[in-house]
Amino acid sequence: MKELDVAAQKKIVLDILKYVHEICEKNNIRYFAGYGTALGAVRHQGFIPWDDDGDIEVPWPDYLKLMEIINSDESHYRFLSFGQKGYYYCYGKIIDTRTVVSTSARKVQIEGLGVDVDVFPLVGFDRKEEQQAFRKLQAMKMIGVNYANDAVRLRKNFLIYPVEKGLQLYYKKKGIEAWGRKLENMLNRYPFDRGEVVFSYGGLYKKRQLFDRHVYDSYELMNFEDGKLRVCADWDGYLTHMYGDWRQLPDEDKRKAEHVSRAFWREDTEEDAGNDD
């Protein structure tokens, strides 16, 4: 298989982002560029120069609609999500099926992964239930993490270990799809449109992923490379909440992506895909 360099991977990620934007425009689906993709759109009008990730945030009802449309579309894209066989992330991935990814980040591998854009579901809850809902959803996330690592990390609260270990063994036997279906049911209980607080679920930033409702009330269309992406209208508030002084570039020695995976064209498609314009 032919290995993809960073430039080729960026081109694929950009094509996925363009495809998602087109699908959402045609089908009245809400989405927002998220995390580093939002930062790149605002600060660089494209990718952060030293990164190649693609991240979007999608209200949970729209997430389900987008997944259904993409997976019924006769294209080389597919929407992977929890509840599907062997999938243990608590957010989705829209992949280019012409590619394959080999990663050392997780001990348990997911069959069919390719170059992708991450899709984080947006849910909402009232302030009075914020802490409880946050803890429940983070606990569900850890089940997926422990399954992926095929191990449970010992933490400061020793009482958590036997619970997490028991759940890891349970879903190892029953199948992680059962966890995914349970997570789907849980997200249904936190409607995006009625919450005072919005939670961008699945990322690494924990409580920095909790936002006031108004942040997602509207969006602004911004340039992203040679295309357009939606960014929440209060992009300054969003980025400040996530990153602090987001206008300040990191030190030069930190301007690098932390790659733990390698990407390739699949053998049966690499010739045609490599000739794409």
pLDDT band per the 50, 70, 90 thresholds, residue 106:
confident
Query: On the CB side of 107, how many CA atoms lie within 13 Å of its CA?
Result: 9
More confident: 273 or 179: 179
Q: pLDDT digit string (tens) for 75-97? A: 999 999 999 999 999 999 999 99
pLDDT band per the 50, 70, 90 thresholds, residue 30:
very high
Write down the pLDDT at residue 277: 46
pLDDT at 23 over 50: yes
pLDDT band per the 50, 70, 90 thresholds, residue 273:
low
Q: Are strands 55-59 and 116-125 parallel, antiparallel or unpaired?
A: parallel
Chain-centroid distance, C-alpha 152: 23
**Residue 49: other Cβ atoms inside 10 A:** 11
Q: Which residues contact 276 (CB under 8 A, 6 or more apart)?
A: none
pLDDT at 271 over 70: no
| CA distances (Å), origin 160, targets 58, 93, 128, 157, 205 | 31, 29, 25, 6, 21
pLDDT band per the 50, 70, 90 thresholds, residue 270:
low
Q: pLDDT digit string (tens) for 141-175? A: 999 999 999 999 888 778 899 999 999 999 999 99
